[in-house]
Amino acid sequence: MGYLKGFMDFNRKDQDVRDPIERIKSWEEYVIRFSDQDLKEQSSRCMDCGTPFCHTGAEWDGAYVGCPVNNFIPEWNELVSEENWEEALRRLEETNNFPEFTGRVCPAPCEGSCTLAINDDPVTIKSIENEIIERGFDNNWVEAKVPENRTGQHVAVVGSGPAGLAAADQLNEMGHRVTIFERDDRPGGLLMYGIPNMKLDKETVDRRIDVMKKSGIEFTCNTEVGVDITREELNREYDAVIMCTGAQDPRDTPIENRDSQGIHFAMEYLTAATEALETDPKDTPITAEGKKCYRNWWR
Ligand SMILES: Cc1cc2nc3c(=O)[nH]c(=O)nc-3n(C[C@H](O)[C@H](O)[C@H](O)COP(=O)(O)OP(=O)(O)OC[C@H]3O[C@@H](n4cnc5c(N)ncnc54)[C@H](O)[C@@H]3O)c2cc1C
Ligand code: SF4
């Protein structure tokens, strides 16, 4: 624990966001990075309590409390408060393959389990996590993980969402050769075509895919298993096959006026809108132009 009285001296501060009037002019991420001083203060609010729950990821009454990937949160909070960013990154990488994704879009159950939250606001764990990995990329500390020895085993991973990417990353690090099959034109699953740019810029996804390619992982896109290649072929050609195909079938809602015009499944809209950003944002079959969203529209 760096500064002992951080939790007494500093209030929680959330990251600033871009002004809504500015924000509606672009699809870029709207959260603004913390300053050095904010990071020092916010990380020093961690009490390094004797029994931390933030990193447990334990099931309790049917729900999970704490970080599902068991990040060593108090340890990297201390390293950040001491401005030892590279060591903080190494500690974070021990548990989390993709902190730049969780640091942006995770619902942060860690913060709900922070002991400080019993009588104060929790530590801004998620923002600190994101800053650790961003500084890692800024300083070229994020390296390709090329294994020293290969096992001779070749694994096929079907689906390149976060589950498939994490499985591939772990298996590759263990020395297995890994090929990912993805039916879409770009890897990432819902990271690429489900979560909008304003929360997770697609360059951030591509940046990680590049690191994975340099680590030796092969990506085969535009290939649907069951259509372009059969499961039997995979079984024959690979030592193991891992299915990480997600759950993208939408659940319909049989309510009155469901068949009215302009009601779409989220993924139909989001996929088309994300694809259109690559060419012309107006070039999308479903547009929300001119519509108003009244729920929390100012956030
Ligand atoms: C609109 C939306 C927004 C979300 N926002 C958030 C958020 O902000 N924060 C958060 O934590 N979670 C969010 N989620 C949930 C999160 O995205 C999912 O939990 C996560 O993506 C699941 O990862 P996955 O790898 O299992 O599946 P997916 O991300 O769905 O990836 C599965 C991949 O498998 C591919 N695939 C499927 N079948 C085949 C096949 N036969 N052959 C080849 N490839 C195949 C698919 O094309 C896809 O790329 C959101 C979900 C949705 C739908
Ligand atoms: S925000 Fe990060 S530390 Fe918190 S639960 Fe999610 S992955 Fe874990």
Looking at residue 295, what is its pLDDT? Answer: 61
Alpha carbon nearest to ligand 1 atom 11, residue: 106
CATH number at residue 184: 3.50.50.60
Looking at residue 80, what is its pLDDT? Answer: 97
Which ligand 2 atom is at minimum distance from the Cα of 106? 6
121 and 179: one domain?
no
Looking at residue 47, what is its pLDDT? Answer: 94
Looking at residue 299, what is its pLDDT? Answer: 47
Looking at residue 278, what is its pLDDT? Answer: 81
56 and 159: one domain?
no
Which ligand 1 atom is at minimum distance from the Cα of 248? 30
CA-CA-CA-CA dihedral for 167, 172, 173, 176, to nearest 10: 120
72 and 41: one domain?
yes
199 and 171: one domain?
yes
Distance CA 160, CA 153 (A): 20
Residue 181 lies in a domain: yes
17 and 130: one domain?
yes
For residue 205, the tally of other CB atoms under 10 A from its CB is: 24
CATH number at residue 47: 1.10.1060.10
Q: What are phi and psi of 298, to 5 degrees?
A: -80, -10
Which ligand 1 atom is at minimum distance from the Cα of 227? 41
Distance CA 165, CA 247 (A): 16
Looking at residue 296, what is its pLDDT? Answer: 58
69 and 180: one domain?
no
Containing structural domain, residue 218: 154-243
Look at the chain and report how many structural domains it folds into.
2
Task: Select from 228, 243, 258 the last residue of a domain.
Answer: 243
DSSP state for residue 115 in the 8-state scheme: G
Distance CA 70, CA 57 (A): 6
Looking at residue 292, what is its pLDDT? Answer: 77
For residue 270, the tally of other CB atoms under 10 A from its CB is: 17
Mutate to test the pocket of ligand 1, among 29, 106, 195 (most ligand atoms within 8 A of CB): 195
73 and 187: one domain?
no
Three-class SS state of 241: strand
Contact 244, 155 (CB under 8 A): no
Please give the single-letter amino acid code of residue 30.
Y
Looking at residue 77, what is its pLDDT? Answer: 96
Encode the chain (299 residues) as per-residue pLDDT tens digits.
Answer: 667 899 999 999 999 999 988 988 888 999 999 999 999 999 999 999 988 999 998 888 887 789 999 999 999 999 999 999 999 999 999 999 999 999 999 999 999 999 999 999 999 999 999 999 999 999 999 999 999 999 999 999 999 999 999 999 999 999 999 999 999 999 999 999 999 999 999 999 999 999 999 999 999 999 999 999 999 999 999 999 999 999 989 999 999 999 998 899 999 999 998 889 888 878 888 888 888 776 655 54
95 and 186: one domain?
no
Mutate to test the pocket of ligand 1, among 158, 180, 190 (most ligand atoms within 8 A of CB): 190
Residue 179 lies in a domain: yes
Crossing angle of helices 73-81 and 85-93, in 10° steps, is: 170
